[in-house]
Structures are given as structure tokens and as C-alpha cells.
Amino acid sequence: MNINYCEELRAFKIDTENNSYIIAIVDDEGFPGHVYYGPKIADIPMYMLRINENPYVPSKNNRDRGSFMDTFPTEYPGNGLGDYREGAVEVVDSEGHFAVCPVYKSYKIVEGKPALKGLPATFESSRGKAMTLELTLEDKPVGLEFILRYSVFEDSDAIIRSTEVINASDKSVFIKKAMSFAMDLDGEDYELLTLHGSWARERQMDIRPIGYGKTSVGSVKGESSHQEHPFMALVQKGADQKQGRVYGFNFVYSGNFLAQVEKTQFDSVRVLMGINPNGFKWELKAGESLQMPEVVSVYSNDGIGKMSRTFHDVYRNHLIRSPYKDKKRPILINNWEATYFQFDTDKLIAIAKEAKKAGIEMLVMDDGWFGHRDDDNSSLGDWYVNENKLKGGLKYLVDEVNKIGLKFGIWFEPEMISPDSDLYRAHPDWAIAIQGRTPVRSRNQYVLDLSRQEVVDYVFDVVSKVLHSANIEYVKWDMNRQITDLGSYALGKENQGELYHRYVLAVYQLQERLIKVFPNLLLENCSGGGARFDPGMLYYGPQIWCSDDTDAIERLGIQEGTSLVYPLSSMGAHVSDCPNHTVGRNTPFATRGNVALAGTFGYELDITKIPQEDRDSIPKQVEMYHKYNPLVRTGDYYRIASYRENHFYDCYGVVSKDKSEALFTFVQVMGRPNYHSRIIRLDGLDPEKRYAIEGEEGSYAGDTLMKAGLQIQNLWGDYQSKLIHLTEC
């Protein structure tokens, strides 16, 4: 890890252990140029800027300034001044003009990594020190400054990027777009890898060619969304898990985003990532600054798998802060699919008693415990206990569950308000709405206007009051609808375009306050399943509910896509009942457990009603979790085979950092006739070590298991699975 400035070349060189990133300042005007990002190199190849070719730099050939602007690989492209590619920034200045061109002003190289006020951000930790380059650009006619920050950690190949916009003028400027990150590359034969989905089938991998023009994914839903994800990667054509060039980018933000790649007439590629400019307009008053969220960028010269492991490590070591980060999470049982809204104290205690016998460690009470909520049509915002359901109150229930020997957790949806609620009747103006329009309901609920500090304070006060009232050790924080009707009674007409971003900042403020007042709380984020599974939420809670679809076979694709970027320790995964409540599929109880093991692990069922055979299997699964979770939580992830690609089977594994232990999961999705066995070539092992396979005689060299492979006998039937545990001899 190192950051250096070469005065002779006016160039900055950022080195991680394996990669280099180079920026150069060009011409008297100080255009910031992107020189190189890739495997670590010793030199600064200024020829990659092609500034000695026609149209040359403006000081040598201002006649063709427009041609220069439209071809130069600029580090933070402006707008309206000859660069016809998509810009990173767009403004409206005091004269109504929208042109902007950031050029070099100064730099600073500092030890460590600055925090981003009000935003989640990676940080220096005991796992690795950091260095940061702060590159200040300016546009004097508009009066704006831009601080581009580049941070690296000594234990990671990731480069962390962010942008801060400062109004150095004496008049307001409206920011209509300010991307966190921009990068121009030569347009080699890359393909685009993104994650798409919907409710109950989040984060499905999609790879497609990059054609001419602009290709983007994004969200305007007020959250990162079920449908698209704040991640994209440029993947060398033909690359796979083990080989090929890959550039991956992930946005540390939980609201509207845009991730875009543009292939130009000259076969160059421009990548942009940041807050979606759709619906965004921010008044930046004189002397004020606007900090944009950060982007984690990862270059891998060794395929998609290396990219994934780099993301996993930087998030485990430099983003997740919870005291649970390096601990086994308690095995919980959630009553949602067990009872939905139909429960009372006696029912929850009955579940807790059976759960304790099976070795489960926590009971989580889901939706329906507050106001007069017996379905999803009322009471959001009325966060007081419904004592018709919970006879004796919440503290009595929690105390009884604790006496049984289980921890207790609870569900909230703090960002929402029901039309049928005491809160709405008292404060109808607290709902996000546009006056004069019929409001859009979703799940018969509105969204609270968290741009108003009094609303934020109300939410925090009522949630914290509940948490102070009893020994509650876990919170599931949900958000079951997206934002529409973009209107706030508290913002002026020129500032309505600030609502989306102010809303997300308020969610971050709420969760930051929560974990400071309750530092030992296990916070699991959720949004109708996995609609807000992003790095921003991991900064506040160490795990996120992966999807409302708990079917083991559907989860193979969901968890494959999620693990492309996020560590297994962050993925909320449970064993549920069959037929599955979402898809109606029946799968073996053992397979449900094996698939959920690649996550936080828990149960989503009525343990008092499931078949005795399944109930008897739970203690064995609990034992399995305690045996393997330290490896699953901390190991390196390897994708061996994908059901998405082959339509028959899935295989993935985790290998300990010292390569002394490994666990591979094989799932046979479809049985095949007249088929005897399959050879699986493992990955991530030490070729020089010998490994014993649990339950089998003898041992094998890691080299053999990775090159010749391991024989998997054909399993009888669909949806069968097998765990393969290896230990160093």
C-alpha cells in the first residue's frame, strides 16, 4: 500500500499489494486524466493518455479543443463544454447555466481514512492501516470545488472512491448530479455483469455484451431495490471464477442509485456510479458542502472469484462494525411463517419451549404485536404493545422467554405510517405526499417524511422506549414499500429534490443513534426481503435478510448472486417449512439446512407443528451450525459450479485463511437417469497440503482435489445435498 506524487510527470500513483491506479494532471489548465488501473506496475505510462496525438492538448491546439474534450480520459468529467459523453456532474449556477469543468487545484496525501459525515463508509481498523489521496479540483467560473478521495488499505486490493462538492462562491448553486465515481478505460472486449431481480428472487446474475451507447442499472424507488442492485462489473470476455480481468464497483448507499457504462465512438468505456440524478436537485448555499457516498472498486486479474473474496474481506474488516461481526450469531426462530398475525403470548411461549429443546437460542416476534394490528392494514407508527395479544405486556413475555433460556428479538417497520393509525390521525402531514394528488398506497401504508427532524426524533423515541422496556437483544428493521409521491410539507418548492437523499441520511441517523444507545444490539436490516441489501446497511447491522423466499432451491440463485459481492456472514438465511410458503416446493429438511448454513442460519416455521422427523433433525442441524459456522463466517468463498448455468447442480465452498480446513456444499437440484457419479474439481486448497475427508478413509493432496477432482456419487432424487468437510492431515 502506497500513494506517491511524481512532480516531474505531475502524476499520482496509488499502489495496493497487487494493483496500481494512476492519475496525471495534463496541460496548463490542469485536466485530471485517468492513466491506468490494473495489475501492479513500476512505471507511470503517460503514453496511455495519448496526449501526443492529434487533437493534442488545448495549449498546443485549442482549434480542436472540442475534440480533445470529447476523447480525453478525464478523472471526473464535467458537462456542457465539449465532452459529449455522460458527465459526472451537472449544475445550475446563479445565471442559469449548467456548464461545469473541474480542473486541478491541489492535492493532499494523508495517513488513515477520513470519515464521511452522516454517511456509512469504510474505515481503518486493526486489520489494516489506510492511506488517502485527496485531489481537489475546481471550476472557478461557477465557484465550485470537488474533493476526490482515494483510499487504500494495507490488507486489501480495493480502492475506495468518493466525491465532496464545495460551494466556494457567494451564491447558491443547484447540484443536479454529482457522481461519486467516474473512470474512463480503453474499450477492450468486456462484458457487463450486474444483479437483477424482483421480490422473492433478488440479485440474480446477468452477463451481457457492452454495446455502443449507454447501458445502466439503477433505482428510483428510494432504496437500492429488489429489481436492480448498486453493483456492476466489467468482465473480460471469457473470464470465469479463476482467470480473466474483472473491474467490480459497489455503491455504499441505500437509496436511489445509477450505475452506468458508456461505450463511445472511439471504443473507450466510461463508468459512472452515484446517486441517481432522476428526482435529485440539491441547493448548495454559499460555503456549504455536499458529501457524496463512496464506491468500493476492485480490480482482479484472477477472475470473478478473486473479486468476490476482495469485496468480502474489505467489508468484514473495514465496513461492518457490530460487536457480532466476529461472533457466531444466535440461532433464532422467527414466528412470521409460523403464525403470521395470529399469535398471542401462550403461542409464542409454546414455540419458545420447543425451540429450547431443539437447541435454538433466540425467539423473534415478528409483525403484529403493536397497535390493533391483526393484518397489514393498520397501526404502523403506533409502536405500543397490543395487550389483547400479549397478555401481561411485552416485559412479561420477554421475561418468560428468558426463563426458558432463549434470547428475545422483535420486528419493527419504523419508517412507515398506516392511514389507520393514531399517529396518522394526529399528524397526517408526516406522510410523504403531494398536495392535491391522490396518494399512492402500497401494502396500504405510507412512508414517513424522515426529512423532518421532529419525525426522526419521534421514531427514535418510540423505538427506544420499547427496547428499554424489556431485555430485547435483536431487532429486525423492515421497510415493506418504496417511496412515491415525492413531496414534503417541510421543504420549500426549490428543495423538494432533496427529499430522497435527506430520507436516506435520516435512516442512517436513526440507525446510528440506535446502535450507540444499544451497543450490544444485534441489528438485522430487511426491506420486504432483500430490497435494501447493500453496503450502506451493513455499516449499521452485520446482517441483512437476504430474501423473503426461503425455498432452498430458489435460494441457490439468490445466495450465489449475493455472495458475488457480500460475505456469507452478512446473509440472513433460515430453514422454513414445506410446502414452501412462497413457491409451494417440497425439499428435504437436510437440504434446507445445508443451504441456510451459507448464511446466518435460523428457522422460520412453527416448531410445534412440523413433522416429528423434521423436529428431530433440528438438534443435528444446530450441532452442524456450531461446528461449521466459524469457518463459514471467516473463510474464503469459492464458487465451484452454478445451477444457474448448468441447470442440474450447485456447488460452492469456504476455505479457512490458513487453508487447513474447508467445507464444500453440493446440491443436486435435478436427479438424472442412468447417471452414476460426478467429478467436482475443488478450489482454494493448498496444493502442498494433504486433506482428510470427513466420513471417508484415506487422504488426498490439495493438488489432486483441485486438478483431478473429487467423486460425488449420484444422489437419489431431486433437491438432494451433501456437505464435504476437509481437514488438513
Set of cell numbers at residue 250:
459497489
Do 681 and 624 lie in a common domain? Answer: no
* Domain-ending residue, one of 605, 634, 663: 634
* Domain-ending residue, one of 634, 654, 676: 634
The model's pLDDT over 587-624, given as tens digits with 9 standing for 90+, comes to 999 999 999 999 999 999 999 999 999 999 999 999 99
Indicate which CATH number applies to the domain containing 425: 3.20.20.70
Question: Which residues of the chain have a pLDDT value below 70?
Answer: none
Do 564 and 664 lie in a common domain? Answer: no
Q: Answer whether residue 682 is part of any domain.
A: yes
Q: Answer whether residue 324 is part of any domain.
A: no
Angle at 712 between CA 597 and CA 723, to 5 degrees: 15
Active-site residues, by number, are 478, 548
The model's pLDDT over 345-368, given as tens digits with 9 standing for 90+, comes to 999 999 999 999 999 999 999 999
Question: What is the reported pLDDT for 672?
Answer: 84
CB 463 within 8 A of CB 514: yes
Q: Answer whether residue 325 is part of any domain.
A: no
Indicate which CATH number applies to the domain containing 673: 2.60.40.1180
Q: Which long-range contacts (CB under 8 A, 24 or more apart) does 129-134 make?
A: 129/1, 129/153, 129/154, 130/1, 130/154, 131/1, 131/2, 131/3, 132/3, 133/3, 133/12, 133/14, 133/107, 133/108, 133/109, 134/107, 134/108, 134/109, 134/110
CB 112 within 8 A of CB 137: no
Do 91 and 111 lie in a common domain? Answer: yes
End-to-end CA distance of the chain: 35
Indicate which CATH number applies to the domain containing 186: 2.70.98.60
Do 648 and 539 lie in a common domain? Answer: no
Q: Answer whether residue 680 is part of any domain.
A: yes
Q: What is the largest CA-CA distance in the chain?
A: 83
Do 369 and 428 lie in a common domain? Answer: yes
**What are the φ and ψ backbone dihedral angles of 120, each rounded to 5 degrees?**
-70, 145
Question: What is the reported pLDDT for 83?
Answer: 96
Do 664 and 687 lie in a common domain? Answer: yes
The model's pLDDT over 66-95, given as tens digits with 9 standing for 90+, comes to 999 999 999 999 999 999 999 999 999 999
Do 301 and 377 lie in a common domain? Answer: no
Question: What is the reported pLDDT for 584?
Answer: 97
Calculate Rg over the CA atoms of the chain. 27
Q: Answer whether residue 494 is part of any domain.
A: yes
Quote the CA–CA distance of 337 and 334 in Å, as a whole number.
8
Q: Answer whether residue 327 is part of any domain.
A: no
| Separation of CA 577 from chain center | 28
Quote the CA–CA distance of 158 and 152 in Å, as a whole number.
7
Question: What is the reported pLDDT for 673?
Answer: 83
What's the mean pLDDT when you consider all of the chain? Answer: 97
Do 691 and 567 lie in a common domain? Answer: no
Q: Is the pTM of this model over 0.85?
A: yes
Structural domains counted in the chain: 3
> Which among 82, 69, 73 has a CA at the least distance from the CA of 45?
73
* Domain-ending residue, one of 285, 318, 351: 318
Do 360 and 497 lie in a common domain? Answer: yes
Domain limits at 438? 332-634
Do 194 and 341 lie in a common domain? Answer: no
Do 139 and 112 lie in a common domain? Answer: yes
Do 414 and 547 lie in a common domain? Answer: yes
Q: Answer whether residue 323 is part of any domain.
A: no
Q: Answer whether residue 492 is part of any domain.
A: yes
